Each structure stands twice: as structure tokens, then as C-alpha cells.
Amino acid sequence: MADPTRRGPPDAHASSTGRALTGGDRLDSHFEMARPEYAAQLRAVGIRPGWRVLDAACGSGSFLPWLAELVGPLGALAALDLAPDSAALVERRAPAWALPCPLEVAVGTVLGLPYPDASFDAVWFANTSQYLTDAELATALAEFRRVVRPGSLVALKEADGTLTRILPGPPGLVLRAVVGWAAAGEAQWRGCLRAAALPSWLRRAGFGGVRGRATLIERAAPLDPVTRHHLRNTLIFAAAHAADLDLPAADAALWARLRDPAAVEQFLDDPDFYTSEGNILAVGVVPPA
Ligand SMILES: C[S@@+](CC[C@H](N)C(=O)[O-])C[C@H]1O[C@@H](n2cnc3c(N)ncnc32)[C@H](O)[C@@H]1O
């Protein structure tokens, strides 16, 4: 398991491609914490029974059982990820999921999908636009548009770095850290700051009927064990990673305090502890060919 105290990216909690925060253990703990809100976001896309759906950048595959429920026995799923270890993990997990429909797993990139034109009824692309540069995001959207049949859907879900808060602490604490990491050249954080604009990215890529909506995932003390486990690791990681940033004194003092795992436990026990995480869902319809 990744060591949460190790100093920040580029490879903290990484999968085999070395991208930060893509390792299966972290993906899973984050997913478990956010489960009800993530399920609601996926249900809001409009995926229908009988559809063939691509889970693009599937990671450890946590969305696949829900996708399978939506498409049912007459549907089909494809799952693709850049990291060979993610694809292998999905292959290993699939039998236990007992999906009602067929699943095809591939290693590949969203920048050049290994599928024919109009071969899907929908693409689900979750928590991964953050890893793409602007030029790569435009390429990925063109690829999604190419592989989905006209009149059907492309859905992007992404964490919005402007909506993450932790309390008690200085207002804007997390946003200033995310902006600092982005300014330091960590492309992933720039991607989280871009999330609110994803509906506009879909419009510019030629999609119609675009809709966008933010969901706030809020958790407050007392925390359940799953949430606590995820937040403990996340706070220790963030505090270590914030050490090099040029921040206001109150921010720097709180991050310095949270570099001590015992202080993190105390922080999470605070009856006033609260955290929110924003997630954008942006859905567009592929125009007629
Ligand atoms: C944060 S994880 C999200 C996984 C999953 N979609 C989820 O929400 O749980 C990001 C995933 O994107 C994959 N990834 C990054 N860049 C990619 C690319 N260009 N093409 C395909 N997958 C990519 C990583 O390997 C990783 O599994």
C-alpha cells in the first residue's frame, strides 16, 4: 500500500503509469466515501437498458457494477484504462461482480480509442479529465464524439477543486493549496480547477443539449470509519505536499500541524470537523453525423 506520509506527487498513490492519485487503494477509499453521491451522478446521466457503454479510464472499475445495472442483460460494457495494472485489476474483480451483461477490458488511451466510429451508446469518463492538458482534453472529447453514435451521450464527471473545503480552518485553505500546486506546474490540479467549465468544453467540442450540474459531497463529525480512513490519508498527503507552497501564515500553520498523524486524528475528532468536495457532471449529446 502507498505510504501516505511520503512527500507529494508526481507519483504519490500512483498506478503503473506513475500518475498521482490513480493507485487502486486510494481510488477505492475515495469511491467508498463518495458512494451515494457518485451513484446519483451516474444515474443522472440517462443511460438506458440495452445500451453499449464505454467506461473510459475505468481505474479499478468501481463504476462498472452500477453501469451494468443500468444497461442490464441486453446491454454491454467496455472498460479501458491507460494503466495495465488497472485493466488487470478489473479483469480480476469482474467475476465477483457477476455482471448481468458482457464486459470487454482493454489497455489504451482516451487520446486514440481502439474502437470503431459510432460503436457505443454512451461514454462515461469519471475523475480523469484532470489528468489531461487542454489539448489532450479536446482530443479526448473528439474521440468520445467519434465512438458514440449520433443522438447519444457523453458524460464527464470530475472533482471541482474550487469546491473542496475543510473546517475548522481558514476560509479558502484548500483552494489556495490547489491553486498553488497548479501554479507550481502540477497539471492535475489545473485540471481540477477546470472542472466547472466542462459543460463549456462539451459545447466547444460540438456537442448539443449540454447540461452541467455540481454535486456537493459533504461529511461532518462524527465520521464513519470509511470516511475517516480516506480523509486521514488525504489530509496527511495534502499537509506534506503543502509544505513547499508560499501560503498565508494561518494556512501554513494548519498544514504544518496536520503533518503530525496524531494531530490529524484530533482534527478528525473535532465536533466541528466538516469537509465538502464538489463534483461536476457534464453531459452532452453527439450531433448528427
Ligand atoms: C483517478 S482515476 C479514475 C478512475 C475511475 N474512472 C474512477 O472514477 O474511479 C484516473 C484513471 O485514469 C487513467 N488514465 C489517465 N490518463 C489516461 C488516458 N490518457 N487514457 C486512459 N486512461 C487514463 C489512470 O490510469 C487512472 O486509472
pLDDT for res 99: 98
Q: Give the domain range for residue 128.
A: 24-161+185-216+280-285
Site to substitute for ligand 1 among 11, 37, 82, most atoms within 8 A of C-beta? 82
Q: Which helix (H) or strand (E) holds 289?
A: none
Q: What b/e sequence results for 249-266 when a residue is b if at least 16 CB atoms lie within 10 Å of its CB, and e otherwise?
A: eebeebbeebbeeebbee
Find the CATH number of the domain harbouring 92. 3.40.50.150
Site to substitute for ligand 1 among 15, 16, 22, 115, most atoms within 8 A of C-beta? 22
Nearest atom in ligand 1 to the alpha carbon of residue 38 is 8
CA of 168 to the centre of ligand 1 (A): 32
DSSP 286: P
pLDDT for res 19: 61
The number of distinct structural domains making up the chain is: 1
Per-residue pLDDT of the chain (289 residues), as tens digits, is 233 333 333 334 556 566 655 555 767 888 999 999 999 999 999 999 999 999 999 999 999 999 999 999 999 999 999 999 999 999 999 999 999 999 999 999 999 999 999 999 999 999 999 999 999 999 999 999 999 999 999 999 999 999 999 999 999 999 999 999 999 998 889 999 999 999 999 999 999 999 999 999 999 999 999 999 999 999 999 999 999 999 999 999 999 999 999 999 999 999 999 999 999 999 999 999 8
Nearest atom in ligand 1 to the alpha carbon of residue 128 is 10
pLDDT for res 11: 39
Site to substitute for ligand 1 among 128, 141, 215, 280, most atoms within 8 A of C-beta? 128
Closest CA to 212 of 273, 154, 143: 154
Structural domain includes residue 232: no
Structural domain includes residue 152: yes
pLDDT for res 24: 58
Structural domain includes residue 269: no
Q: What are the beta bridge partners of residue 148?
A: 120
Structural domain includes residue 204: yes
Structural domain includes residue 85: yes
Nearest CA to ligand 1 atom 20: 109
pLDDT for res 29: 86
Nearest CA to ligand 1 atom 27: 59
Structural domain includes residue 41: yes
pLDDT for res 10: 33
